[in-house]
Amino acid sequence: MQSEVLINEDRIRERVLQLAAQIDCDYDDKIPILVGVLKGSFIFLSDLVRLLKIKHQVDFLTVASYDGGLTSTGIVRLVSDLSVNIEGRHVLIVEDIIDTGLTTDYILKNLQTRNPASLEFVVLLNKQECRKIDVPVKYSGFEIPDQFVVGYGLDYNQYYRNLPYIARL
Ligand code: 5GP
């Protein structure tokens, strides 16, 4: 694979630290539940939660819209659900990347029906120019152009998740 570093380890670490500080401040008097959207968010989530100072809980859900390739099928499905009841809870969804916004919109609509006290999104990478549907993202790490990226949890055909930086294919 030919790849080129887009965001190096230092920049990722610095930005995740800033996001954690902002979340600490905003959720100071709350006990949020951070929901990692698998699989792509697993490294981002694990770095983020280790930098948080506030009391919080962690859970996961799995959604799929890619079938291993470079483009989304546009059809989002829930592969595995949360393990806890989020009614009345402050929920912070942690995503790796937002592209069209279809996945985020699906998660938003699905989880809103469960009556959380609040529901916000923290996303590491944002491809704003690819958006097909407007989604409210409270915390965004980096704006990136319309290019397929891998590393720091993001895959191509399930490979390259272990790269410590974000690279474009
Ligand atoms: P959306 O529904 O916003 O179009 O896409 C969200 C999902 O598509 C992400 O959670 C991720 O799984 C996948 N995705 C979108 N863009 C990229 C990319 O550049 N690289 C990788 N590896 N996955 C992507």
pLDDT digits (tens, 9 = 90+) for 34-54: 999 999 999 999 999 999 999
Strands (E) across 28-165 are located at 33-38, 57-66, 72-80, 90-98, 118-126, 139-143, 149-150
One of 99, 134, 146, 155 is an active-site residue; which one? 99
Identify the pLDDT of residue 47.
Answer: 98
Pocket test for ligand 1, best of 3, 60, 96 (most atoms within 8 A of CB): 96
The yes-or-no verdict on residue 80 having pLDDT over 90 is: yes
Quote the pTM value: 0.94
The yes-or-no verdict on residue 151 having pLDDT over 80 is: yes
Indicate if ligand 1 lies below 6 Å from the C-beta of 154. yes
- Taking alpha carbons only, the member of 42, 56, 54, 50 closest to residue 17 is 50
The yes-or-no verdict on residue 114 having pLDDT over 90 is: yes
Q: Rounded to an integer, what distance in angstroms lies between the CA atom of residue 115 and that of residue 28?
A: 21
Indicate if ligand 1 lies below 6 Å from the C-beta of 92. no
Question: Atom 11, ligand 1: which residue's CA is nearest?
Answer: 97
Q: Rounded to an integer, what distance in angstroms lies between the CA atom of residue 130 and that of residue 90?
A: 29
Catalytic residue status for 99: yes
The yes-or-no verdict on residue 70 having pLDDT over 70 is: no
pLDDT class of 92 with cuts at 50, 70, 90: very high
Identify the pLDDT of residue 74.
Answer: 74
Question: 């546009």: which residue's tokens?
Answer: 74
Average pLDDT over residues 60-73: 75
